[in-house]
Amino acid sequence: MEKKQGIKERSFEFAVRVIKFVQKLPKNFVCQKIGGQLLDAATSIGANVEEATGGFSKRDFTYKMGVSLKEARESNYWLRLIKVSELAKGDELDQLLNESEELRKILTSIVKTSKGQ
């Protein structure tokens, strides 16, 4: 039976996968710029999750998870832009798009729950 991963592990693995993906993008101005934006957003998801779990209050936890959610949305935006503008293609990109959407859903649920909604 496969163990379900928590948000900390998933967001960390997502960041690692994005790093490897960005390293494979063509070395031109557009790809470097968009790849950098994607890298910033994707690695920030897990960093903020880590900070949230070490937070000092429920308010801090909710805030940091909210930041993670915003970064997940931004990651999805850059991945969609890469796909539609055909800067990259293939299963790896599709899997990253899917995972960014899954992270967004999980984080939305966490934020709503922590706000008592």
Confidence band, pLDDT 50/70/90 cuts, at residue 54 = confident
CATH (domain of 64)? 1.20.1440.60
Quick check: 77 and 39 in contact, CB under 8 A?
no
Q: Does some domain include residue 1?
A: no
Name the CA dihedral angle for 8, 81, 22, 88, rounded to a multiple of 10 degrees. Answer: 130
What share of the chain in percent tops pLDDT 70? 97
Average pLDDT rounded to a whole number, residues 33-53 = 97
Helices marked H in 54-90:
58-84
Domain of residue 49 covers 7-114
- pLDDT tens digits for range 83-106: 999 999 999 999 999 999 999 999
The mean of the pLDDT values for the chain is 95
Average pLDDT rounded to a whole number, residues 48-62 = 91
Q: How far is CA 91 from CA 96, 107, 112, in A?
A: 9, 24, 32
